[in-house]
């Protein structure tokens, strides 16, 4: 287990967690909460070649994607609406430095 303190980065925490888990089992998919919805975590998970699912933090960009998605979904029968997937690429906000 990786000790956490105020100096532990998200990358260190995720890497330690995945490494320890892989000692005991294969990871098919990792489910995370929205606290991990940041560029550092996503880059780390991609580097570790982990399939993952996490909810997005609602912000104006995400709201627009949801609105556009809902408009397009009205064309589909009710049951098929839940099987549509939207690709999303994280990017840095202007003025925010990438910490990874």
User: Is 49 a residue whose pLDDT tops 60?
Assistant: yes
In whole angstroms, give the CA distance from residue 73 to residue 42.
27
pTM of the model: 0.65
In whole angstroms, give the CA distance from residue 3 to residue 13.
9
**Mean pLDDT (whole number) for 47-63:** 88
Q: Can you read off the two tokens belonging to residue 42?
A: 């996503």
User: Is 96 a residue whose pLDDT tops 50?
Assistant: no
Note the pLDDT of residue 22.
94
Based on C-alpha coordinates, what's the Rg of the chain? 17
Note the pLDDT of residue 80.
57
Q: What is the DSSP string of 6-41?
A: TT--HHHHHHHHHHHHHHHS--S-EE--GGG-SHHH
Confidence label for 69 from pLDDT (cuts 50, 70 and 90): confident
Note the pLDDT of residue 100.
39
Domain locations in the chain as residue ranges = 1-55, 57-91
CA 52 from centroid of its chain's CA atoms:
7
User: Is 81 a residue whose pLDDT tops 80?
Assistant: no
């Amino acid at each position: 287990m990786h000790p956490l303190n105020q100096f532990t980065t998200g990358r260190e925490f995720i890497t330690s967690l995945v490494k320890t888990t892989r000692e005991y089992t294969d990871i098919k998919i990792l489910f995370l909460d929205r606290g991990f919805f940041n560029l550092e975590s996503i880059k780390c998970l991609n580097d570790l070649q982990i399939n993952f699912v996490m909810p997005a933090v609602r912000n104006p960009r995400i709201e627009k994607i949801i609105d556009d998605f809902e408009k397009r979904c009205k064309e589909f029968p009710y049951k098929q609406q839940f099987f549509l997937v939207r690709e999303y690429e994280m990017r840095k906000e202007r003025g925010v430095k990438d910490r990874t």
